[in-house]
Each structure stands twice: as structure tokens, then as C-alpha cells.
Structure 1
Amino acid sequence: MGVNDDTFSRRSYLKATGTASVAGLGGLTGLLEQDFETLEVQHWWTGGDGAQAIQALFDGFKQEYPDIEVNQNPVSGGAGQNLQTVIKKRVLNDNPPSSWQAWPGANLLPYTRANKLEDIQESVWSHNDMTNAYLKGPKDAARPSGSYVTVPLNIHRINNLFYNVSVIEEAGVDPSSLSKPSDLVGAMEQVQQNTDAVGMANQTKSGWSTMQLWATVLLGEHGMDTYTAFTEGKVEQNQQAIKNSLQIVKDYREFFNDDAGSISWTEANTKVINGQAGFFHQGDWAAGMYRGQDGFEFPDAWNQVTFPGTENYYMLNMDSFPFPTNNPSPEATTRFLRYVGSVDAQKRFNPKKGSIPPRTDVPTDAFGPFLQSQMEDFKNSEAQPPSTAHGLAVDPETLTNLSDAMATFISSWNVDRTYRGMVQAFQ
């Protein structure tokens, strides 16, 4: 039996070699027997599809590495904010968990700037053909400061435009004919003139939905270069495009549901299911609610187009698992991150989560028709820009400032004042 045999290489070969260099172990330590440390992983997937998906991943990991004890230490609430607060304190106090659920990209810059994340190109990314299987966007997000420090597990697409098929047909609108975000205004007008539904479901109770809508409009109306320049802080150089995109979202507002300021995104999405709204812009997690509805099938009852003007782009929101310095379990963490980057892990996790794999070589048969079409779009995408609203494109401090600017926008709908807030957000 050769060392390429899966069972042998994982169970026996790793035990025999100890891969001492990975953990910085000198000499012959652990050559004869590898005793793995307990793996502590923190995440915020404590309910619903997230809990099922992460359990499926850990079940697969346990099959591959039965000798590694796993301590899942989840932190629920706050859409991940509670976990981020816990992690920041632990990492800065040099007491990190083995790994944790983290948005990659600029979100990790505070840790790379403080030298709190390890370069894992050799120990992790050189395994499982990862560098070939991941496209440029996810790979760039995995190396925010130049070195690979984290492993993306899943992708949620941001630039989706969902719609209720019967409402849109009754309105006489062809979503595929819309070529740019500003075209959507006329389409929503038709919905409200010809049906009892509102043009677009939305929530403005918190600013993130409107921020991701605005960022998508900027990308669709003014292109990738302008969007990237904005995320790099070149706000004043792109004043006209940024103000124009804010104005378009302000124009959309006329077609929002009246209770937008007092409901959640899930309540807004219910309006699409009930035929009370024509369009809905949201990450592809919105489709999870449709899947759970009897008689509300894709593509006959609900469907989706890429947001007008963004057809060649796959705007990324992702979760990943980084490798911190002062790691309490370097050997076990290395195995875990290699597994997170594998076909097996990503085909277990993503169908249950309603996301797609960042690897382009994961078989599609476990995914439903909607996610299969998303996987196809991802493989064929010209570029994969990172989400601003979810912290992949801007660091946490800038995101906080942009969130303040967006709060100003949804309370006043004042384009000039919001633009000034965006300028200040990067200063």
C-alpha cells in the first residue's frame, strides 16, 4: 500500500512522520506516534441551515481524523458580531482558539497588521490542489496582506435580483431585459401600476441591506474599476459615480414596502413569497427561505437574474477559517484547515448551507438547480469582487464608518450628506 492511499496517508503516514515542520517541532519529536492536541473551533452557526452544515463538516472531519478531539465552542448572536468581539480579545491576548469562522479579505487586516496570523501557503495551501481549484477572488481574500492566512469554505453571492414570477409576469416585465441598475426603476414602476404588489421588498431597519444594495448598484452602473477604487478609498475621485449610485437607490426607495423601516430582511423576503412584492435584492441566502416553502418552486414560482449590469461578476461574501499565531493545536489545526479546503468538506457543507464552494471542482450533484446555476456563473465569472457590506472589501474600522454613513442615508435619504460621510469613512 503506497502513501498516496487515502486511509494510509491520513491515519498512519501522518502519525508516522508527525509532519514535525508544520508545527515548528524540532528534530525527531513525534516521529513514532502523533498525539494530536484538542482542536477548538469557534463559529456563529448555532441554528438553522448553518448548524446543520457545520455539523456535516465536522462529521466528515471526524471520519478522516478520528484521533483529533474537536471542541466546538460556538458564540451565537449579533450576526457574527458577538463572536468577532470574543475573538478580538482572545487573539490580542495571545490566547486564540485553534481557528474560528471569519470573513476573509480586509476583515482580517487588523490581525495581519498585528502579526497575529500565520503564513499557511506551504503547510495548507500546497495540499489538495487548492491553489488551482480556487479562483482569483477567493484566493485574494485568503491573502489580505500578501500571504495565505485563511481558508475560505463557502461563498454567498451578493449581486442577486430575486423575483416573484407571477407578479413580474402580471406586471409585463422581462427581468432579463434590464441592462443596468437604473433600468430597474421603470420595471418597479410597472409592477406597482399593473399589480397589487410593491416594486421591491427591502428592510431599512438596519443599514447593511441598503449598503449591499448600493454597492451592487455602484458595480452595475459604473463598473468594476470604479467599485474597486471606492473600496481603496478613492472616494472623491469618483464623486459623480458614488452620488449617482446613491440617487438610484433613493429612487428605488419609492417602490419599497411601507414598513421597510420596522421589519427584518426575512420579513421583507416573506413579501416576495406571498406575492406582495415583485423584486428583492439580497444575498443568495434568501433562497433558503424559498426552498422551505411548499409549492413555491424554482424557477416557476420564484426566479432570479444577476443584478442588472453585474452579469460578468460574482460578488463574494465568504466564511473562512484562519490560522492564528500562538496556536494551541498547530498540528490539529493544520489538518483541519487542509480539510476545510478539500472537495469532501465543501461538498458536505455547502448544499446544506445554501452556498456554493469556492473550489471549482466540487461535484454539482448534491446541489439543487438554483445553486447549480450559481456554480456555473461563478466558474464563468470575469471577476469576483469582494462585498463591502460584509467586510471583505474594507477593514473593520472603515466598515463601521461606512455603516454610520448608511444609517444617515436611510434616515434622511440625503445624497450629499451620505457622500460626505463616505469620504470621511476612509480618513
Structure 2
Amino acid sequence: MIHERLSRRRYVKATGVTGAVSLAGLSGYLGDVRRQDGTLEIVHWWTAGGEEDALNALLEGFQEQYPDVEIDNNPAPGGAGSALDAAIRSRIVDQTPPSTFQIWPGESLRPYTDADVLASVEDLWDEEMREAYLASVMDVASPEDALVSVPLNIHRLNNLFYNVGIVEDVGVDPEGIEDPADLLEVLAAADDAGYTGMAHQTSTEWSTVQLWETVLIGQHGVETFEQYVAGETDGLEEQVRESLELVVEYGDYFSPDAGAIAWDEGNAQVIDGEAAFIHQGDWAAGQYGEADFEYESGWDYVPFPGTEGVYSMVIDSFVMPEPNPSPEATAAFLSYCGTIDAQERFNPIKGSIPPRTDVSTDGFPPFLQNQIEAFQGSDEQPTTIAHGTAVRPEVKSEIEETFARFLETEDVDETTQRLLDAHEAAGF
């Protein structure tokens, strides 16, 4: 699996956009940005599957309440958020920040809070909103104990989706797969029957990062995972190596065109009856609904083997860059994102669940109602590496670059050491 790519390290060297270092101190001379109240520029990466439809539903609801606000819908898709991140950092350097942009909360926010280029949104969180939001979500919205983002949804990362007809034809029971190693036997059985075992893309590294972190949790538990993301890697060599070895073995059953497809194209192979399984977040279900692929009869899911009782959270939020080109319109949009109406419109289409606890589930499809029940019954709700919440962007970049090389070499020893060293290599 050899893929040519411009690494994040080379990109940083080429552009000079170096994360927190580039952002530091900018707030002092951003004051001359011209304010253009009335036009709301929203930068996001929602262009695939049901994501675009979900965003459009959100914007439609917003404009019903704020018809005088003109919206500049400005997508920056690609690389599981990395293209957007590079674009935003560049615009902050150029003193042309947008009104708002989509970002994973938690550690992804720190370069911006360190540079003091995000406004506090404390005043937008009224008492009703504070009481309605899940405490764990509010925690990641305020990495420095000050609220700087408004979360809109919660995805579950540790899903294993499958084509019901294929697994019945192969004669396997996904409910009976007890751990990540057992999944390997099931993928082999699907391959023997003439199907692709796992519709996985390797054209970019993020899908493999999220697969690896989920395998690590499935094999060794959330405590080991959280020890790793905290940078406490002494004694974790065996666990990291074992999880990587299994990912390499899974690779024998990836899509034949894994190096040329995006995640939604892999997901389409499950819909079309070419592939048995795919490991993805709940957003995959949005694509199923768009394709009229029926839950339980056409597709179904189980928690990734070994992660029963775990709800690995992927959260999307919006922030207010400061100074802001449209402060009043931006405040209105962020306030709206925190409402019941916004979350009822957006989440059923997006394939996610609301972070507010008072949103009626009546309008949610059965799958998401099941996910809400799973969240409520979960014992642990870790954040994730691949989607930016669990580790600082500098550490995430080191991990992504490590996996970019891993996809080329499949060198488990080298990759294990680089993962163990990722925090130190990033300066943390």
C-alpha cells in the first residue's frame, strides 16, 4: 500500500503555517479587520453523504429566524478537517478570519485559545442551555475553563457497520464477534465468499488513525487509550504494537481500491453489496438514509468488537473568531446552534445525536434512537485522536504523519516507536 502524498510536515514547511507558534500574538494586530455586519461567512467541511443536507437543514432553520442575515456558505473539505484547519490558520495570519468555522472542541481549540483569537461565548449560554447540555460536552467546549464554542452534535466513532445480506450469505453473526482479533476471522470468511471484508480507505491517513485507536480500546480498554493520549506512554509498547499488527492484518481484507477512494466511496461499497463491513462514525448512517438503504433489513451495526459500553465521542462545534467580521450575525448563529430547533433539524439527517438532553427523539430515526439509548447506557465516553478532541493538533499531526508512513511501509516496529514518541516529538 504505497501512496504518494504531501505530508503535513512538508505542508507546514512550505506554507509557514505552524499551528500555535504562527497564531501566537496575532490578536494584538487583528484589530484593523473591517467589520461587515449582516453577512455571515461559515467555513465547514460538510460536503459528503448526508452532511451537506444536514447543514442545509440547519441553515434553513436559522434563516427562518434571522431572514435578514446573508449567508456565505464556504466549504473547505478534505483530510478529515485538515484542509479547513490550514485554511483558517492562513486566514488568521492574513487578518481575514471568517465569521465562524466548524471545529472539533477539546484539544483542537488550544492553538486558538493560546493565541487569544477566539471570543468567549459565555454570554450566549443562558441558564436553560447550560442545564440542558451534557456536562461532558460542555467540558470539551471550554478547554481553558471558559466557553469558546457551541457544540452541535455527538457522533459515535466506535461503530462497525455491515451489509445484512452479505453477513447472512457468509453465515457470520456480527453480534458474536467478541474482540478485535475475532473480527479478523470474520473478514477472512467474507473474503472467501467473494466479498470485500472491510470497506476502508487509505488514500488519507485519518481513517486508519481512527481504526487503530478503536482497535487499541477494543484490545486494551479505555484506560490504556487515555494513558496514551495523556502522553504517559511508558509501559505501553506491547499494547501499541499489538494493535498495529492487527491493523496490518485487517489490511489484507480492505477494499482493492482503498488507496484511491474516500470514506463515502468505501461506504457506498457496503450499500452496493460489494463489501461486508466498514468501521466509521455515525455519519455513515446519513449516507445510508440518502440511498434508501434500510436500517436492520439492508444494514445494521454493532459496537466495534471489544468496545461494548464505550461511546467514543466525535463532536462538532462552531466558534467566534475575534475580532469578528460580523459579530451580531455570528452571535445569532451560534446561539441558534445551541437551540432545540437547530439540533432537531440537524442531527437526524447528519446521523448524530444532540448534546442537549431535552431534545425530543420523536423525529429521530430508529438507529439514532438506539444510539441515544447506547449513549445513556455507556460506561465510558472517551474523546478521539483522529477527530482532534483528545490530543493537541501538534500531537495529532505527528500521529497522522506516522500513519502516512505506516500506510506506505507497514513497518510495525518503526510505527510503534514513533507513536510512543509522538507527544515528545510535538514538544509536549
Structure 1 window deviating more from structure 2 (222-231 vs 284-293): it is 284-293
Aligned residue for 2:296, secondary structure, equals coil
Question: Does residue 286 of structure 2 align to residue 288 of structure 1?
Answer: yes
Partner of 2:74: 74
Q: Is residue 388 from structure 1 mapped to residue 385 from structure 2 by the alignment?
A: yes
Deviation at 1:55, TM superposition (A): 2.8
Is the alpha carbon distance of 1:185 and 1:61 closer, same or farther for their aligned partners in structure 2, counting shifts above 3 Å? Answer: same
Q: Deviations over 1:65-121 (max 9, x none)?
A: 44x523324133324444323321333455433322112111111001112223333
Alignment of 1:179-258 (within 5 A): 179-193=178-192, 195-258=193-256
The alignment covers a number of residue pairs equal to 388
State the distance in 2 between where 1:204 and 1:42 align.
26
Q: Distance between the aligned counterparts of 1:170 and 1:88, measured in 2?
A: 49
In structure 2, C-alpha distance between the alignment counterparts of 1:202 and 1:323, rounded to whole Å:
35
User: Aligned residue for 1:134?
Assistant: 133
* Corresponding residue number in structure 2 for 1:361: 358
Preserved CA contact (<8 Å) 1:153 1:318 = yes
What whole-Å deviation, never above 9, does each CA across 1:158-185 have from its counterpart, x for those lacking one? 1110111122123222211222222212
> Could you give the per-residue CA deviations for residues 34-89 of structure 1, whole angstroms, max 9, x where no partner exists?
xx7554433333576333322322332233344x5233241333244443233213
Q: How many Å separate the matches in 1 of 2:272 and 2:51? A: 25
Distance 1:292 1:40, change over 3 A: closer
Higher relative contact order (CA 8 A, sep 6+): 2
Deviation at 1:189, TM superposition (A): 2.9
CA spacing shift, 1:353–1:171, aligned 2, 3 Å: same
Query: What residue in structure 1 maps to residue 304 of structure 2?
Result: 307
CA drift of 1:148 comes to: 1.3
1:282 partner letter: Q
Give yes or no for contact 2:286–2:349 (8 Å, CA) kept in 1.
no
* Cα pair 1:75 1:82 within 8 Å, conserved: no
Q: Is the 8 A contact 1:287 1:354 kept in 2?
A: yes
Q: Quick check: 2:41–2:73 contact (8 Å CA) kept in 1?
A: yes
- For the residues of structure 2 that align with 1:48 and 1:219, how far apart are their CA atoms? 28
Give the superposition deviation at 1:263: 2.8
Aligned to 2:146: 147
Measure, in 1, the Cα distance between the counterparts of 2:423 and 2:363. 42
CA distance in 2, matches of 1:42, 1:301: 34
2:116 is the alignment partner of 1:115: yes
Compared with structure 1, are the counterparts of its residues 205 and 87 closer, same or farther at alpha carbon in structure 2 (3 Å cutoff)? closer
- Residues 383 and 135 (structure 1 numbering): CA distance in 2 closer, same or farther, change over 3 Å? farther
> Does the CA-based 8 Å contact 2:38-2:70 persist in structure 1?
no
Percent of residue pairs bearing the same amino acid type: 46
Residue 251 of structure 1 aligns with an amino acid whose one-letter code is E
* Higher mean C-alpha displacement, 352-361 vs 403-412: 352-361
Partner letter of residue 270 of structure 1?
A
Stretches of structure 2 lacking an aligned partner (at least 5 in a row): 1-36
Deviations along 1:2-29, one digit per CA (max 9) or x if unpaired, are: xxxxxxxxxxxxxxxxxxxxxxxxxxxx
Change (3 A) 1:45 1:166: closer
Task: Give deviations 1:179-220, integer Å, cap 9, x for gaps.
Answer: 222221222233334x22232221222211111100111112
CA distance in structure 1 between the aligned counterparts of 2:65 and 2:198, rounded to whole angstroms:
46
The one-letter code sitting in structure 2 at the alignment partner of 1:275 is G
3-state DSSP class of the match of 1:237? coil
Check whether the contact 1:45–1:74 (CA below 8 A) recurs between aligned residues: no
**Match of 2:176?**
177
Q: What SS does structure 2 have at the residue aligned with 1:72?
A: strand
Separation in 2, partners of 1:77, 1:174 = 36
Q: 1:410 to 1:137 in 2, by over 3 A?
A: farther
Look up the equivalent residue of 2:261 and give its one-letter code: I
Deviations 1:262-282 (A, max 9, x none): 333233223322333222111
Give the aligned partner of residue 52 of structure 1. Answer: 53
Provide the C-alpha distance between the structure 1 equivalents of 2:322 and 2:61, rounded to a whole number of angstroms.
26
CA contact (8 A) 1:41 1:70 kept: no
User: Match of 2:399?
Assistant: 402
CA distance 1:63–1:198, shift in 2 (3 Å): closer
Q: 1:290 to 1:113 in 2, by over 3 A?
A: same
Tell me the TM-score normalized by structure 2: 0.83
The equivalences for 1:155-170 within 5 A come to: 155-170=154-169
Instruction: Compute the displacement of 1:395 (Å).
Output: 1.9
Q: Quick one: structure 1 residues 50 and 262, their matched pair in 2 at CA, closer, same or farther if it must change by over 3 Å?
A: closer
Q: d(CA) in 2 for partners of 1:63 and 1:137? A: 31
- Tell me: CA distance 1:367–1:223, structure 2 relative to 1, closer, same or farther (3 Å): same
Give the partner amino acid of 1:233: G
Q: In the alignment, residue 70 of structure 1 is paired with which amino acid?
A: E
For residue 28 of structure 1, what is the aligned residue in structure 2?
Answer: none
Verify the 8 A CA contact 1:95 1:326 in the aligned structure 2. Answer: no
Query: Partner of 2:19 in structure 1?
Result: none
CA distance in structure 1 between the aligned counterparts of 2:263 and 2:282, rounded to whole angstroms: 12
Kindly report the root-mean-square deviation, in angstroms, between the aligned alpha carbons of the 2 structures: 2.4
Q: How far did residue 416 of structure 1 move? A: 0.9
Give 1:85-100 correspondences, 5 Å limit. Answer: 85-92=86-93, 95-100=96-101
Give 3-state SS (helix, strand or coil) of 2:232's partner.
Answer: coil
Runs of 4+ in 1 over 6 A off after TM superposition: none
Deviations 1:202-244 (A, max 9, x none): 1222211111100111112111111111112223332221111
Encode CA deviations 1:286-318: one digit per residue, 9 max, x unaligned: 223322335x32101211001112121221222
CA distance in 1 between counterparts of 2:48 and 2:198 reads 28
Does residue 372 (structure 1) correspond to residue 369 (structure 2)? The answer is: yes
Deviation of residue 403 (structure 1)?
Answer: 0.9
Distance 1:45 1:382, change over 3 A: same
**Which entry has the higher C-alpha Rg, 1 or 2?**
1
The answer as to whether partners of 1:108 and 1:144 remain within 8 angstroms in 2 is yes
* Equivalent residues of 1:161, 1:281 under 8 A apart: yes
Change (3 A) 1:47 1:314: closer
The answer (yes or no) to whether the contact 1:46–1:74 under 8 Å persists in 2 is no
SS of the residue 1:314 aligns to? coil
Q: Judge which range, 50-59 or 244-253, deviates more.
A: 50-59
Structure 1: tracts of 5 or more residues without a match: 1-35
